[in-house]
Structure formats: C-alpha cells, structure tokens
Amino acid sequence: MLHIILGLLKIIGILLGTLLGLILLAVVLVLCVPVRYRVSFCKNDAKLGGAAAVSWLFHLIRVKVSYDKDKGMEQEVCLFGISVLKLLEKRKKKHTRTAGKRKDRKNTGEEKVSGGKERSVQPAKPEPIGETEHEAAHAAKQKAENPGAPLQAAQESPVLHNTLREKAKRLILNAVHAVCSMLRRIITIPKRIIRAISDFWLTVRDICGKIRQWRSFLNSPELRAGLRAVLRNGRKLLRHILPKHIRGSVHFGFDDPAFTGQALAVISLAYPVLPRKLAVIPDFEKQILEADVSARGRVYGIVLVKLAVQTYLQSRIKDIIKQYKEAF
C-alpha cells in the first residue's frame, strides 16, 4: 500500500515539475526573445504601397499587413508556419457548401409533402349560420315589444345643476385662494434671494478651495519626482522601440526651387540624427516625390518590465496617491 502511495506522489511531483518548467520556459521566452518588426514604403511613378510585419519566436508567430495600389489591402497571420486566415476561409467555404446541401434537401422534402397534401384535399363543408344574426333578430323583437323603455330610462336618470349661489361661492373661494398663494409667493421672495446668494457664495468658496488643493497637489515634490521618472524612462522606452536599421532613399522637389532649398535646410538640422544609410536627394528642377524606405527593429520584453519597475520605484506612486488623498 505504501509503495502505491509513493508511486502516486512521484507521478504528481513529475507532473508538477513539468508544468512549472513549462511556465518558466514560457516566461523566459516572453522576456528574452524579442518581438521583431519590419516596415517598408515605396512610392514612384509605377508603384505605391507599403507593408508592416511583426514576428516572434523566430517567425513561428507572424502577422503581416501590406497595401498595394493594384492589389489593395492584404493580411496574413501565421502560427508555426500555418496561415490562420486561409484555414478560416476554407472552413467558411466548407460550411457554406454544407448549408447549401441541407437547404436543397429540405426544399425537396417540402415539395414531396406539399404534393401529397394536394392529392388528399376534400371538398369543404358548408359553414353553419352564425349566432350574431340570431342575436340581432332577438334584440329587434324586444325593441318592437317595448318601445317606451328608452324614454322612461331617460326620464328617470337624475340631472344635477349648480345653483347661482354655489357658483358664486366657488368663484369667491377660488379668488381668495389665488390671492393667498400670490401673497405667499411675494413674502418668500426675499428668503429665496438670500438663499440663492448663500448658495452662490458657498459654490465660489468650494471652487476656490478646490483650486488651492489642486495647486498644492501639482506643486508637490512627490508629483514632480514622479513626472521626471516617467519622462526619463519614457525616453529610454522610445529609444528602445524605435527602429535600429533604416535604409533607402527619398527624392523630393518643389515647383519653386526656393521651397526645395528651405526644406533641405530644415532636413540638414536633423542630419546628425538621420541614419547613414538613408539618402535624401533634393531636386531643384522639377516637382517630384519618390521614396523607397525600409526599417526594422526589435522589442525585448525584459526591457519593458525593467523600465516599468524602475518607473514604479522612482516615481513614488504610493506617496503620490497618499498626497492626492490628503489633498482631496
């Protein structure tokens, strides 16, 4: 009995160790294997289009979107080298064909059933005379036998008429009620004015208090330290995400050579930052814009986690939340 329990515990331990190893492997792959991307753009007299692709784990997972002036927009999603969109399209076509076959079979069965029903139709029986004609005849007979019943009922029904005194009394009461309500409103006018002024003053005081609280919160050293940490790590994140390899050429020109010279002067200010393999060619003779540029880069998950942790520790988010609660 004991060796059976030990064997079960051994199997459970092996399964748990395998599961833990798979989880650790997945975490290491997510953090250490970069997500690579590639972007390209081309524009000339014969072609206009671009493409963007994102891949991970040595192109085992890949997403691509491309556009061409002649072909239009195209998408591609691949998992382990298998196109997911093509599989979905094939499955949809198969489902459509199956639904069409089922519909044809159903229509055929309905036609057979309707043919059998037409052969089994029998002549309809004459409908019996309804009871409404009998009731109408009975009512006419009662009216002919007792013609003075409606007149007698009209004479017996009481008719109420208000006297002149009651009308005058009602008019006087209505007038008194209207005068009283008007006097009541006139008396409450100063009270309402005072209440409106008081509410307005309280609203202004609350707004001024909120402005002072916001000013103290925005000028707090905790918030300033947090903003500095966010900006510093944000610049690091932007430098990490931006493409590392950019190559190609840009050929541009305006109808006025002066505009071309001004654009070239602006570009020359950013010349130290521009990639070395990106050629900028100005044209002072004609208006033209041609480009053939490609860029690629990568993003590491461990860098994102590192920057997120640094931002959380350096920005002192707990102190900012505490300051916000104290201020508001």
> Using one digit for the tens of pLDDT, what is the confidence trace for 50-105?
999 999 988 889 999 999 888 888 999 998 888 888 888 888 888 888 887 777 77
Tell me: do 253 and 194 sit in the same domain: no
252 in any annotated domain: yes
Task: State how many domains the chain has.
Answer: 3
154 in any annotated domain: no
13 in any annotated domain: no
116 in any annotated domain: no
Q: What pLDDT is stored for residue 119 in this prediction?
A: 52
Is there a contact between 328 and 213 (Cβ–Cβ < 8 Å)? yes
Q: What pLDDT is stored for residue 160 in this prediction?
A: 46
208 in any annotated domain: yes
Tell me: do 311 and 276 sit in the same domain: yes
Q: What pLDDT is stored for residue 159 in this prediction?
A: 42
Tell me: do 210 and 240 sit in the same domain: no
47 in any annotated domain: yes
Supply the DSSP string of 97-142, one letter for each residue. Answer: HHHHHHHHHHHHHHHHHHHHHHHT--PPPPPPPPHHHHHHHHHHHH
Paired sense of beta strands 82-83 and 61-68, if any:
unpaired
* Residue ranges in the chain whose pLDDT is less than 70: 109-162, 327-328
Tell me: do 274 and 319 sit in the same domain: yes
Tell me: do 265 and 307 sit in the same domain: yes
Of 84, 105, 126, the one marking the end of a domain is 105
Tell me: do 205 and 259 sit in the same domain: no
Tell me: do 209 and 270 sit in the same domain: no
Tell me: do 234 and 170 sit in the same domain: no
Tell me: do 253 and 308 sit in the same domain: yes
76 in any annotated domain: yes
Tell me: do 182 and 267 sit in the same domain: no
3-state SS record for 24-86: HHHHHHHHHCCEEEEEEEEECCCCEEEEEEEEECCCCEEEEEEEECCCEEEEEEEECCEEHHH
Tell me: do 181 and 94 sit in the same domain: no
Taking the C-alpha atoms of residue 311 and residue 233, their distance in angstroms, rounded to an integer, is: 7
Q: What pLDDT is stored for residue 298 in this prediction?
A: 93
At 42, the amino acid letter reads C
Question: For residue 41, what are the domain limits?
Answer: 33-105
Is there a contact between 78 and 84 (Cβ–Cβ < 8 Å)? yes
For residue 295, what is the DSSP state?
Answer: E
Q: Which helix (H) or strand (E) holds 302?
A: helix 301-315
Of 63, 82, 105, the one marking the end of a domain is 105
Tell me: do 230 and 208 sit in the same domain: no
7 in any annotated domain: no
Measured between its terminal Cα atoms, the distance across the chain in Å is 66
Q: What pLDDT is stored for residue 135 in this prediction?
A: 57
